[in-house]
Every structure is written in C-alpha cells, then in structure tokens.
C-alpha cells in the first residue's frame, strides 16, 4: 500500500509561520518531540516577512517588512500584556512608538488642514461602539460598520476628505471597507487588543527582520538544521480521518501522521491550493467561504536622502484623492527620528481593490501614479525620481493568497467556529481562526498554541472534538460566547480606558 512508503510522525504541522512554530513549541513543552513542520518557503516566519530594499549611506542594503510590521496593543505594567510585545522585548526587537497624532493632511491641491475630521470620526465611533455592545449583549442582528457609523451621524458620502479620514481609521486596519465589515466583530477585534492591553502600536524597524523573535523561539526547541523542519516543501494533498492524516508534497514526499495541524492562511484554503480528502463537509466549507481574505500592500520608495521633501518630524501624511477612495491614501515616513533616519524611505499603503489594481499594474505604472500623487501633495518641483521602488503582490503569493482575514457582517460566531473546528484528526490554526484577534500576530500565536493543546490532550488519551455547528441560525446565543467557541476574554474591556 502507498501508505507504507510514508514517513511516520505523531504530529504533522502544516506551515511554519507564527501559528505553526507556536504549535511546535507547545508540543515540545509537553514533551512531544515527534513532529515535523512542512513549510513552503525557504525560511520560517510566513506572513512575518522582510526583504532588503535600497541602501544606507554606506551602501548597505536596508531591511523593510513586507508583512506584519506593528506590535499592536502593548500592555500595562502589572496588567495583561500582548504576548508578541513580551517576545519582542525578549529578543530586543527594535521598535518605535507609532504616533498617530503625528499626521498632516493633504488633497490634490497640496496641504489642507482637515484634521478636525479625526475628532468628528472619533465621536461617531463612540456611538458605534455602544451600538456594537448592545447588539452583542442582546443577541441582535449584526450589521455592517457603515450602518454603525451612520448611527453616529458620520456620513462621508462624496466628501473625499471624510473618506480619507475614514480609510485611515477603518480600512487601514481591516483591509476592507466599512460596507463589507462586521460592526460587532470589527469593534470586538479592536477592543480585545487595544482596550485589553494598551492603545499603543509600535512599529518594527529591526534590521534582522521582525521575525527574529520567532526564529529565536524556534531555536529553543529546534536544533540547527533540525530534520523535523522541512523547508521548501509544498503540501499538495491532505487526507484526513478519525484515525490519522496522510500528507503528500509536490516532490512526491509522503507523511503519515497521527494528527495534523493545518496553519495555511484563509487565502490558501479558499483558493483550493491544497486538496483535502475527503472533500470538506458543508459546515466546514461554509466556514471557509464566508470569511474574507484581505490584501494590504505597502509600496516602498527611496529618494536621495539629501532631497527628502516631506517634513522629517512627521510620521504620517494622509492624502484625499478627489476621485477615488483609498487611492494612495496613507504615506508613512521611515526617514524620521526613531525609524530609519537618513534612509530617504517613505511608503504608501493601499488595500483591497486598490491592491488588486497595483498588483495588476507594472511597477512602472504604479510608480508613476504614486509620484503624481506625491507631486500634487508636496509640489512638482520638490519631488525627484526615486532611487529605489518596490512592492509585494500578496494576493498572488501561492503560499498566502492575500494578507490577513476580515470578518464580514452578518457572519456569526458559530460560523467562525466552523472555520476553526477540527475534522477528525486534522486541526486548524492561524490568524483567521482567532475569533478575537483575527488579522493580528497574537491571533496566530494563541491559535497555534490552542490547536497544539488539543492535540496534546488527544495524544494523552483524553480527546474531545472541537464543537461545530450545523445547521447555522441567524445569530449566536450569548451563552455561546465561551471558550469552546474561541471566545476567551470578555468583549467588554474596561482596562482603564
Ligand atoms: C501586509 C501585512 C501586514 C500585516 N501587518 C500586521 C501588523 O502590523 N501587526 C500584526 O500583528 N499582524 C499583521 N499582519 C498579520 C500577521 O502577519 C499574521 O496574522 C500572521 O503572520 C499569520 O500567521 P499564521 O501562522 O496564521 O499564517 P502564515 O504566516 O501564513 O503561516 C502559514 C505558513 O504556511 C505556509 N504554507 C502555505 N501553503 C503551504 C503549502 N501548500 N505547503 C507548505 N506550506 C505552506 C506558508 O508559507 C506560511 O509560512 C500583517 C500581514 C500582512 C500580510
């Protein structure tokens, strides 16, 4: 039988990103050392990914992050702390406070001060938050974030300055418009991170790369060249049952595992990049299909450092395009004290449809559009040609198919649990399976741990299946906001805020 040729292991971990590595660490900590990690790329880290870009004054290439960049929600002394913040401190990751009040506002005519709109948005957001709380606690129907904002009397419509402010406040975090985003779960996602720990975000500029902490953690249980870590290995098929999981890769490799933990991104699952046998039951497939995989694109430009044309003491420059919402809206300076000072680097972020646009364009086309915007903002004579230009195409990467997930409106916690729940001996973990921290590194970290804990329990002979729901009803009863549905901390955080 073909199974005879397969390599045997207790636990196969599919993917070596944050969730995969924390799953392996959890197994190790439980004295389960018989596992293998199958990873597509030539290194661990997954969507915590950096590259070299441009160079410093000495000709040394600079490192910039293509994926995760911020430690989001740090922690208070004596209070709860974001695990990513603790790990970043443990490995001395170089990071700087991201000051969201350090922002100047622009439109196609140049600098125009519309910063009072931030306060208007904040006022509306308070009303929106209260509405979300009422909906959740009274088990009412969810709605989109747009409807929530309207309740707070925030109606940007054709006002492009309001649209730019709204993009900065919402789309920049969720990678989707308020129209398609869940009011309730969007607000909870914010609260669990920023009201539980702290409202600070620190931006990582470590020249070893942000994922240096993950590599550090991996080295506590993986030896150098550890044969359990299989890099450059593309999983193509996963056959699962109640007795085991067989995995094959594109090189013909085969692995026979007692249990498997799949940490592939929602994008990979949605694109059917890997085939699963038997076909997923309807409840599981629905869980996968009903969530959204966002795309978030950072477009990097390096200018001659002596020709930097933006004020160096400012971190952010918001642009309101007169025609298109989200058209090169947020420029972020790295040539600012505490970041990569003297680098001449600035980058602009786009998401969703605008990401798909730049992914379909050539680099040259995109560069010309960005330069035209910068010249409108800062003056045509002030902005020289860049000496380096680069951006990733996340939605086209066959190992991620996008950046991170978003919770669409009207999708219940039960539906999310279906995305998360195991199928026989195949478990799921990752950023998207986190009900409360989806889209964040901490989501991947907690979920990797949680799936591995389930597997440990099984290996110790006390296996309990994770719950799933079929059929699904219109809303999730309040008493189901509990740990077995991935709801671990209260959605009503009060930690001093
Ligand atoms: C542009 C961008 C910006 C972000 N910004 C932030 C931020 O500022 N702060 C924050 O907290 N989070 C941020 N995130 C989210 C954060 O990066 C993710 O939540 C986290 O890295 C996801 O980890 P994971 O383990 O769930 O998934 P992944 O990192 O995707 O790990 C899954 C692994 O599976 C591998 N894989 C996929 N398919 C196969 C296959 N067929 N065979 C073998 N291996 C395969 C992949 O190569 C990958 O290594 C950002 C993400 C992106 C992309």
Residue 462's CB is within 10 A of a number of other CB atoms, namely: 8
Residue 494, domain member (yes or no): no
Question: What spacing in Å lies between the alpha carbon of 102 and ligand 1's midpoint?
Answer: 29
Residue 174 pLDDT > 80: yes
Q: Is residue 298 domain-shared with residue 161, that is, in the same domain? A: yes
- Of the residues 75, 93, 200, 399, which should be mutated to test ligand 1's pocket, given the most ligand atoms within 8 Å of the CB? 399
pLDDT of amino acid 489: 85
User: What is the pLDDT averaged over residues 181-193?
Assistant: 97
- Where helices occur in 152-298 by DSSP H, the ranges are 160-166, 172-174, 183-190, 212-218, 266-270, 282-289
**Is 417 within the bounds of a domain?**
no
CA distance 395 to 415: 24
Verify that 200 and 317 share a domain, yes or no.
yes
Listed residues 360, 380, 396: the one ending a domain: 396
Please give the sequence-ordered ranges of beta strands (E in DSSP) within 321-430, or none if there are none.
Answer: 330-333, 345-351, 388-390, 404-406, 426-428
The two three-digit tokens of residue 248, written as one number: 């094959």
User: Mean pLDDT across the stretch 434-456?
Assistant: 98
Number of C-beta neighbours around residue 34 at 10 A = 13
In the reported structure, the alpha carbon of residue 49 is separated from the centroid of ligand 1 by a whole-number distance in angstroms of: 8
* Three-point CA angle 436, 172, 495, nearest 5°: 40
Q: Considering the chain, what is the average pLDDT of its residues?
A: 96
Domain count, the chain: 2
Q: Is residue 299 part of a domain?
A: yes
Query: Same domain for 301 and 167?
Result: yes
Detail the DSSP E strand segments found in 150-295. 201-204, 229-230, 235-240, 245-249, 254-262, 275-277, 292-294
Share of the chain above pLDDT 70, in %: 98
ipTM: 1.00
Task: Output the pLDDT for position 475.
Answer: 79
Give a yes or no: residue 156 inside a domain. Answer: yes
The verdict on residue 477 lying in a domain is no
* Residue 472 belongs to some domain of the structure: no
226, two tokens: 């550890």
If asked whether residues 162 and 55 sit together in one domain, one would say: yes
What domain range includes position 59?
50-206+294-396
Q: At residue 385, what are phi and psi to the nearest 5 degrees? A: -75, 145
Q: What is the CATH number of the domain that holds 267?
A: 3.50.50.60
Distance 399 CA to ligand 1 centre (A): 9
pLDDT over 90 at 258, yes or no: yes
Q: Is it the case that residue 160 has pLDDT exceeding 60?
A: yes
Determine the average pLDDT of the residues in 195-212: 97
**Contacts of residue 120, Cβ cutoff 8 Å, sequence gap at least 6:** 154, 162, 165
Residues 147 and 70 in one domain: yes
Name every protein residue with a CB atom under 6 angstroms from any ligand 1 atom.
15-20, 38-41, 46-48, 67-70, 72, 233-235, 263-265, 268, 273-274, 296, 394, 399-400, 403-404, 430-431, 439-441, 443-444
Instruction: Give 76-98 pLDDT, tens digit per residue.
Output: 989 999 999 999 999 999 999 99
Helices assigned H by DSSP within 172-260 = 172-174, 183-190, 212-218
Q: CATH number for the domain including 84?
A: 3.90.660.10
According to the model, what pLDDT value does residue 1 have? 47
| Res. 297: pLDDT tops 80 | yes
pLDDT of 495 above 60: no
Bridge partners (DSSP) listed for residue 97:
202
Closest CA to 213 of 392, 370, 342, 86: 86
Rounded to an integer, the average pLDDT of 328-350 is 98
Question: What's the first-to-final CA gap in the chain, in angstroms?
Answer: 61
Q: Write the DSSP symbol of residue 215.
A: H
- Check whether residue 432 and residue 449 sit in a common domain: yes
Average pLDDT on 406-419 reads 97
Residues 75 and 163 in one domain: yes
User: Measured in angstroms, how far is the CA atom of residue 17 from the centroid of ligand 1?
Assistant: 6
**Domain match, 65 and 184 both:** yes
Domain assignment present for residue 62? The answer is: yes
Tell me how far the alpha carbon of residue 33 lies from the centroid of ligand 1, in angstroms. Answer: 24
Residue 496 — pLDDT band, cuts 50, 70, 90? low
386 φ/ψ angles, rounded to the nearest 5 degrees: -70, 155
Residues 201, 360 contacting (CB under 8 angstroms): no
Dump pLDDT digits (tens) for 30-55: 999 999 999 999 999 999 999 999 99
CA of 136 to the centre of ligand 1 (A): 29
Q: How far is the CA of 265 from the centre of ligand 1 (A)?
A: 7
Considering the domain architecture, whether residues 59 and 194 belong to the same structural domain is answered as yes
Q: Three-state DSSP class for 299? A: strand
Mutate to test the pocket of ligand 1, among 200, 404, 420 (most ligand atoms within 8 A of CB): 404
On whether both 262 and 322 belong to a single domain, the answer is: no
- What letter would DSSP give residue 195? I
Tell me how far apart the alpha carbons of residues 131 and 133 are, in angstroms, rounded to a whole number: 5
Same domain, 113 and 195: yes
Together in a domain, 72 and 199 = yes
Test site for ligand 1: of 260, 431, 434, 450, most ligand atoms within 8 A of the Cβ = 431
In a domain, 285, yes or no: no
């Amino acid at each position: 039988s073909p199974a005879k040729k397969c390599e045997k292991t207790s636990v196969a971990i599919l993917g070596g990103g944050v969730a995969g590595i924390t799953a392996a660490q959890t197994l190790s900590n439980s004295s389960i050392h018989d596992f293998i990690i199958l990873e597509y790329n030539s290194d661990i880290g997954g969507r915590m990914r950096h590259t070299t870009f441009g160079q410093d004054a000495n000709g040394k290439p600079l490192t910039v992050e293509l994926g995760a960049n911020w430690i989001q929600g740090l922690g208070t002394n004596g209070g709860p702390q974001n695990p990513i913040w603790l790990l970043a401190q443990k490995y001395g990751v170089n990071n700087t406070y991201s000051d969201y009040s350090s922002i100047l506002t622009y439109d196609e005519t140049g600098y125009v001060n519309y910063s009072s709109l931030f306060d208007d948005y904040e006022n509306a957001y308070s009303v929106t938050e209260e509405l979300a709380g009422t909906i959740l606690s009274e088990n009412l129907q969810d709605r989109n974030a747009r409807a929530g904002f309207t309740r707070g009397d925030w109606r940007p419509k054709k006002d492009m300055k309001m649209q730019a402010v709204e993009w900065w406040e919402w789309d920049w975090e969720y990678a989707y418009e308020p129209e398609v985003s869940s009011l309730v779960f969007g607000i909870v996602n914010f609260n669990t991170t920023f009201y539980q720990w702290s409202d600070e975000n620190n931006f990582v500029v470590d020249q070893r790369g942000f994922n240096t902490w993950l590599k550090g953690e991996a080295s506590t249980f993986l030896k150098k060249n550890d044969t359990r870590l299989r890099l450059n290995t593309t999983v193509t098929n996963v056959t699962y049952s109640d007795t085991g999981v067989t995995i094959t890769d594109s090189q013909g490799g085969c692995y026979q595992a007692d249990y498997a933990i799949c940490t592939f991104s929602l994008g990979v699952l949605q694109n059917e990049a890997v085939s699963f046998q038997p076909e997923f039951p309807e409840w599981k497939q629905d869980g996968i299909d009903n969530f959204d995989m966002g795309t978030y694109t950072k477009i990097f430009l390096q200018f001659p450092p002596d020709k930097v044309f933006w004020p160096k003491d400012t971190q952010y420059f918001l642009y309101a395009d007169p025609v298109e919402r989200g058209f090169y809206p947020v420029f972020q300076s790295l040539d600012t004290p505490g970041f990569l000072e003297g680098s001449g680097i600035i980058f602009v972020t786009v998401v969703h449809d605008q990401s798909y646009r730049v992914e379909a364009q050539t680099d040259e086309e995109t560069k010309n559009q960005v330069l035209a915007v910068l010249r409108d903002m800062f003056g045509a004579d002030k902005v020289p040609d860049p000496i380096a230009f680069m951006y990733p195409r996340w939605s086209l990467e066959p190992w991620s198919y996008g950046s991170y997930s978003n919770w669409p409106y009207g999708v219940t916690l039960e539906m999310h649990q279906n995305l998360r729940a195991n199928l026989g001996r195949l478990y799921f973990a990752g950023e998207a399976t986190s009900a409360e921290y989806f889209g964040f590194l901490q989501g991947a970290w907690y979920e990797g741990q949680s799936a591995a804990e389930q597997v440990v329990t099984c290996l110790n002979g006390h296996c309990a299946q994770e719950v799933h729901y079929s059929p699904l009803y219109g809303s999730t009863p309040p008493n189901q906001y509990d740990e077995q549905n991935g709801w671990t901390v209260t959605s009503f955080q009060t930690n001093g805020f």
